[in-house]
Structure 1
Amino acid sequence: MPGSGTPLLEDDFQFILCEGCGQESPNLKLLTCLHTLCLGCLSKSKPIGQCPMCQMPIPQASGIPSMDNLLFINLQARLKVYKKIIGGDDLFCDNCKKPSEFWCSECEEFLCTTCSEAHHRYLASHEAKRVMDIRAGSAKDFLEGTRRTSNFCCSNPAHKNQTVSIYCQQCEKALCCSCALLDSRHAAFCDIRSETQRRQQELGTVTRALRHRRGGFEATCAALREEAARLERAQRELRELIRQRVEQLVRELRREEEELLGMLEARQEQGRRELARELQRVEGVLRRMEAGERLVEKMGLYATEQEVMDMQPFIKGALQDLQRAAVRSQAQPVGFAECRARLQALVERVEGHAEKCHP
């Protein structure tokens, strides 16, 4: 039924949008904190030099990361095709302009029945799906089908039409059969599919290690929030105590009262700043962990082999950096012992003075 896939696009694929503005963009950049932003949001964040999601510094001097989020960009393009198919509009063959009944995901072409038969005759390995079958399925089914058929070609310009099927472990490059046979420098080959699976598994291992540490960060975050609340309560209680005691003093002791209140405010502000800074850091790391888990999950679900090969080293490095940063921390609680001691000394002095005045 035309349009039946729209709710899925609305609900299940929000992750492919810019995390800053929530809009589609053909220019999505992947930051080292593993959040994804469009160029517009990056431009707004450039004066600050921090990710607006977790406040991690953006290391690039220009403020524009070099790593494109190829997974999200390509998913947007594939979903646009799906929307076009389920939209109910007339579809025409890209070859003869007759009404289209088939879609080849490898050629990215709509085909009529006649052209589809010729297409199958000359490109038997390509699977052209019926448009009506795509409309009856879900967006996930469509993406899974395009993922299976999405191959990438050799980087050698002379072999640009050759499908990559081999991975050279020595030079860490994907090769076509021609490159592997003609260039003697390559050695220790393995199947490209095995290499992409290994890289996916490697990302999964790093993510699972981070997940073990996440509980500790959540506990630290909760403890910091509780400490902030305790500090507020202690500040209110001590403020009231100071005011009650100081109001008993004579006029010449008002200066002591002001000094006590100033000391209390200074300790309170110091504690608030330290707690806020540590809480912001911990929350930022948690957001990076969540972004890493989400990205690796979506890589496992939807990434093509090309996307895995292009993005895995960058994502792996970012996850390993996050592993090294994932250490528990606890801000030192701010106490009011000095302030209380000075208050007690003041009370004793006043009481002692009162006893001298009223023997």
Structure 2
Amino acid sequence: MTSAEPTDTAPSSDASYEASRVRSDAAWEKIRTDPSGLRMLTGDRPTGALHIGHYFGSLRNRVRLQDAGVETWLIVADYQVITDREVLGDIRGSVRELITDYLAAGIDPEKSTIFTHSAVPALNQLLLPFLSLVTQPELERNPTVKAELAAAGKSAMGGLMLTYPVHQAADILFCHGNLVPVGRDQLPHIEQTRVVARRFNERYAGGEQYFPMPDALLSEAPTILGLDGSQKMSKSLGNTVMLRMSPEETAKKIKKAKTDADRQITFDPENRPEVANLLTIAAQSTGRSPEEIAEEIGDKGAGTLKVMTAEVLNEHLAPLRERRAELEKDPGYLFSVLRAGNERANAVADETLAHVREVMGMVY
């Protein structure tokens, strides 16, 4: 049994966070000692190639978990692109870019399953019985959905956005995922998934623990700000360093990064967020602390900081970029990896849906 039972809502209170933290700490301990039985589900919306915010914030950690022996499932959430967009754009190209970044970063298709939403019908069919387990008010008060709606600049919520947390529950539960790496802001989705799993087990499975109660895997992954001082990197704002950029393009981007007029370099995220951001990037690239790097630069100013950050970032990303260049030469291989992942995901989803129909009395 987990350390705390979920409520019938998707809370984001301090008490809920502490309960999630306790379960997360237990999961980290199991990863260190015996990761058998752990199945991680995570992924991204295919909106283009990834940047260093994605890499330092999540992708690098996924590779570490994969290599530690955690069974890894990566969803390319192509259906989620249309939750807040009216135009798909080059969705096939975006999927290709995403897979290229995954493999270049170290995701191993022999150890991990990469698949797309749209290619797994049984996964999406689970949305129907799962929707019977939640109420409209529960969906409407999910804080992450509200944040996504605001970020998209929309005032009216579409049906797909409203049911986004339940679709995520289907993503996690179809493969019996029991571990989901998230930040604190995503905890309401995990709580909603736990509610869906528990209610399904109680209402339809006669108390059988068919679906697991997934745990959030919380980490101290750094938040990388946009180079213009924005709260996050965004390709549309042009404030990113893309993984696919050349060393020259990277140096040019870093050189234009926003800083301040104080020549004494200090690590002060609250009062000097832009300078702290560059120090964080340098620290993540070298394994050193940002405070140590700040002390080394001292009063040499932001120009020296930018040069150092570009140099160590380029050095850190060099192996990834070399692999990426090789992968780009063979798009056929990239899509073969996806087809193999889709085949495995379909086999698992079909088995799950068959069991769901059986316990619901819908096998004729």
TM bucket normalised to smaller: under 0.3
TM-score, normalised to structure 2, is 0.24
Instruction: Determine which structure has more spread, i.e. the larger CA radius of gyration.
Output: 1
Q: Scaled by the length of structure 1, what TM-score is found?
A: 0.25
